[in-house]
Amino acid sequence: MMTNTQWAFTQEVHPNPTSIDAIAAHLENPGFGRIFTDHMVTARWTEERGWHDAKVEFRKPFQLDPACAVLHYAQEIFEGMKAYRGAGDSVLLFRPTENARRFQRSAERMAMAPVPEALFIKAVEALVSADKRWIPDGDGSLYLRPFMFASETFLGVRPSKEYIFCVIACPVGPYFKNGNSAVTVWVSDEYTRAAPGGTGAAKCGGNYAASLLAQAQAAEHGCDQVVFLDAVEHRWVEELGGMNIFFSMADGTLVTPPLNGNILPGITRASVIDLARNEGITVEERPYSFDQWCADVASGHLREVFACGTAAVIAGVGRIRHVGGELVIGDGTVGPVTERIRDLLTGIQRGRIDDPLSWVHHAG
């Protein structure tokens, strides 16, 4: 069994690494989640051995028994983070310890074996180092996807006694097809994402499976993302399918729904709160209803709305659609507060401006 101080990774030699020219062609327009790098990192957990067999391997399919537990009861969690190319060919990660800790909390909620923080960070660093050639320049980044699933061959309903932890990576550009333009969101009157006592605060695959139909309805209404309201009163704004949400008011305050156990505690969300407060902006984490949202658009009290997350970064929301019609926020474009927060956050993440809260982690 490996101890915390002893995470040594076996390194497989890739038989046929992608050529520099082919990588350059992929990086021209990577999109999001379509292109994958040459390597992956894996580690295994069993009751007898704990975490063991940590490897940097070349990327290849898993071989799973049809009775593999994850295929039946969805005991699976994941993370999303990015590596950036900094000055002098350095590689920067943004607050990776926060991802490691959230991964542990998700594991606990899903009754899985937690990955030690040091193993998580080393795995991410090992992959970034093996696939450094794949990190885009400019405004792109290397999206990292650590995940873990129940790998025991067993059909009884109980926590698995075996897990596989893996990290894969893909070079990415903007998450939304319109780049940095304002997005339109659909407020679902039919579906909810998470109920009290459920798994809303965990980053488990099942939450996303449950969101897909609502997201498909959003797309049918010409929207980029779905906004979920709370499951009990169907009144309070919670979050989007894959992002948290902020409201910027005429009096200068920022409002965002509180961490009530149903929404994902976004690392971007936490960073926006800290950055805004550091800039002297008042941030209120408080319940905000959809009715109030509509009233504040009508009165002009609400000036800007933005969504935030690792994939989306900071995305201005220009329009909301719902069963009752459409509302335009401000002039429907990305507002100055959203722009300012986006510039600050991305500047820090990419090592282009001062990092006042020491968030950037040098990965090599």
Binding site for ligand COI (CB under 6 A): 80, 242, 309-311
Q: From the CA atom positions of the chain, what is the Rg in Å?
A: 21
Q: Which of 244, 248, 262, 349 binds ligand PLP (CB under 6 A)?
A: 244
Task: Give the residue with the Cβ less far from ligand COI, 215 or 338.
Answer: 215
Tokens of 186: 């659909």
Q: What burial class does residue 117 get, using C-beta atoms within 10 Å of its C-beta: 0-12 exposed, 13-18 middle, 19+ buried?
A: middle
Tokens of 144: 């990292």
One character per residue 202-221, x = contact with ligand PLP (rule: CB under 6 A): --------------------
Q: Which of 36, 39, 56, 80 binds ligand PLP (CB under 6 A)?
A: 80
Pairing of strands 10-11, 50-58: parallel
Tokens of 36: 């994958």
Task: Give the residue with the Cβ less far from ligand PLP, 152 or 238.
Answer: 238
Least distance (Å) between residue 267 CB and ligand PLP:
4
Q: Does 266 bind ligand PLP (CB under 6 A)?
A: yes
**Does an H or E element contain 78, and which?**
strand 76-78
Task: Give the residue with the Cβ less far from ligand COI, 68 or 77.
Answer: 77
Alpha-carbon 259 to chain mean position:
16
Helix, strand, or coil here: 8? coil
Beta bridge partners of 347: none
Check: CB of residue 320 under 8 Å from CB of residue 326: yes
Q: Which does 266 bind (CB under 5 to 8 A by kind): ligand COI, ligand PLP, none?
A: ligand PLP
Pairing of strands 162-172, 302-309: unpaired
Task: Give the residue with the Cβ less far from ligand PLP, 149 or 246.
Answer: 246
Least distance (Å) between residue 45 CB and ligand PLP:
24
Residues in binding contact with ligand PLP, number by CB under 6 A: 12
Q: Which does 113 bind (CB under 5 to 8 A by kind): ligand PLP, ligand COI, none?
A: none
Least distance (Å) between residue 310 CB and ligand COI:
4
Q: Does 238 bind ligand PLP (CB under 6 A)?
A: no
Q: Which of 239, 319, 335, 351 binds ligand PLP (CB under 6 A)?
A: 239
Q: Which does 303 bind (CB under 5 to 8 A by kind): ligand PLP, ligand COI, none?
A: none
Instruction: Give the chain's end-to-end CA distance (angstroms, integer).
Output: 27
Q: From CA 5, how far away is CA 238, in angstroms rounded?
A: 40
What string of DSSP letters covers 248-277? Answer: EETTS-EEE----SSS---HHHHHHHHHHH
One character per residue 294-323, x = contact with ligand PLP (rule: CB under 6 A): ---------------xx-------------
Q: Which of 167, 264, 320, 341 binds ligand PLP (CB under 6 A)?
A: 264
Task: Give the residue with the Cβ less far from ligand PLP, 130 or 255.
Answer: 255
Q: Does 93 bind ligand PLP (CB under 6 A)?
A: no
Beta bridge partners of 326: 321
Check: CB of residue 135 under 8 Å from CB of residue 141: yes
Q: Does 30 bind ligand PLP (CB under 6 A)?
A: no
Beta bridge partners of 314: 308
Task: Give the residue with the Cβ less far from ligand COI, 18 or 310.
Answer: 310
Residue indicated by tokens 């989640």: 33
**For 162, how many CA atoms within 13 A lie in the half-sphere containing its CB?**
10
Task: Give the residue with the Cβ less far from ligand PLP, 80 or 330.
Answer: 80
Residues that bind ligand PLP (CB under 6 A): 80, 239, 242-244, 264, 266-269, 309-310
